Amino acid sequence: MSDVLRLPPSGSFVGEVRKVVAALAEGGFVVLPGECGYLLACAPLDAGSTEEFLADETSAPTLLLSHPDAACDYVGHSQWSGPASRLSRRCWPGPVLLRFSGPAGDA
């Protein structure tokens, strides 16, 4: 079952954020609008939802990171050094979408 949350015009989204967090904590998926398109989110520490999320081979997973240096943990130093690192540092904390050829083990 899917629910559509309507954001109140008051600008206070505390209740809606709690519903999103609860859905993720229960192993569900959430679709969020972003400046780079819509994002399908799941809780990365929930093995069941992560496996289901990664089972769809038609799209690569997207990670939302809090700092540019965190990307190195996922794509490996060889892919992260150079232009990708410089670009992300110039754009952060704005919306930046970088695509890599694969995880650290595949590079």
Question: What is the tens place of the pLDDT at every residue in 62-99?
Answer: 666 777 777 777 777 777 778 888 888 888 877 777 77
Give residue 105's pLDDT.
46
**107 pLDDT band (50/70/90 cuts)?**
very low
Report the predicted TM-score, pTM, of the whole model to 2 decimal places: 0.52
CA 8 to CA 10: how far, in whole Å?
Answer: 5
Give the pair of three-digit tokens for residue 87: 């670009």
Q: Is residue 57 classed exposed, middle or buried when 0-12, 13-18 and 19+ CB atoms within 10 A define those classes? A: exposed
Inform me whether the pLDDT recorded for 106 exceeds 50: no
CA angle 50, 56, 61 (to 5 degrees): 60
**57 pLDDT band (50/70/90 cuts)?**
low
